[in-house]
Amino acid sequence: MIPDPGRSQDDRSLFFFDCRLLSSYNTPSLSLKIKLMSKVTKLTLLLVSGVLVLSGCEKPATPFPKAPAEMSIGSPTAQVLITEFSDYACPFCARQHFQTLPLIKKDYVDTGKARFVFKDFVVHPSAQKAHESAYCAAEQGKFWEFQDKIFENQGNLDVGSLKKYAVEMGLDGEAFALCLDSDRYTETVANHTKDGKVKGVNATPTAFINDKMIEGAYPYETFKEAIEKELSQ
């Protein structure tokens, strides 16, 4: 509400939706009620010759800084680089995520021997927003935790469910929803998928132990053998 120097019968209501004026009136009065039908963060209102002028209408930005272009754990100077291309709707990816990766993390990432990098590789279109949502969670420091939530709920990856998971995890739900609805990480996910195709990825999960490709959800022993081989060189 802007300051009202004195109400008059010329009071009018203005309705905005996504920075578009839906209805307006010429009025000599500064007594105006602003009803925001969408989230608008900055308005400049000027009264020029009895005509209301709206400027500076902007959609809000998320209050959190943008997440890194790729997510990783482990020492950046580790001898072995493990890069995984994964799809959140892929059941084999979920199996590898919960059964194999924790062992790799314990034996190699946490000990400083390997660095793990996650890359998106969208095979199922239904997983697109899930991939983007993980980066929205990353803005609030919860990428890996939200990734667990996604893999635990592969049958419910619609936007509404993703927003619900964020709230359940204690994230700022409004900021998360704003991030997800803005398509802020669509390009990030697309770039990861393109990178995978350049490297010869055709299916998920696909991992690289340095330059050695392992396609498929193999048991921990397969990864251990490949990692140990790289460490011995």
Tell me whether residue 7 is in a domain.
Answer: no
Query: Is there a single domain that holds both residue 183 and residue 112?
Result: yes
Q: What is the mean pLDDT of residues 223-231?
A: 98
Quick one: 194 and 112 in the same domain?
yes
Residues 112 and 181 in one domain: yes
Q: Evaluate whether residue 207 is within a structural domain.
A: yes
In our burial notation (b when 16+ CB lie closer than 10 A, e otherwise), range 46-55 reads: eeeeeebebe
The parent domain of residue 145 ranges over: 71-231
* Element holding 44 (H helix, E strand): strand 42-48
Average pLDDT over residues 91-104: 97
Instruction: Say yes or no: 180 and 215 in one domain.
Output: yes
- Residue 151 domain-assigned? yes
- Total domains present in the chain: 2
Instruction: Note whether 53 and 82 are same-domain residues.
Output: no
- Predicted TM-score of the model (pTM): 0.74
50 & 77 share domain: no
The string of pLDDT tens digits covering residues 215-224 is 999 999 999 9
Is a pLDDT exceeding 80 seen at residue 145?
yes
Q: What does the pLDDT read at residue 95?
A: 97
In this structure, the answer to whether residues 93 and 208 fall within a common structural domain is yes
Q: Measuring CA to CA, which residue among 140, 221, 146 is closest to residue 178?
A: 140
Radius of gyration for the alpha carbons in the chain, expressed in angstroms and rounded: 25
> In the predicted model, what is the mean pLDDT of residues 171-196?
97
In a domain, 5, yes or no: no
Whether 40 shows a pLDDT value over 80: the answer reads no
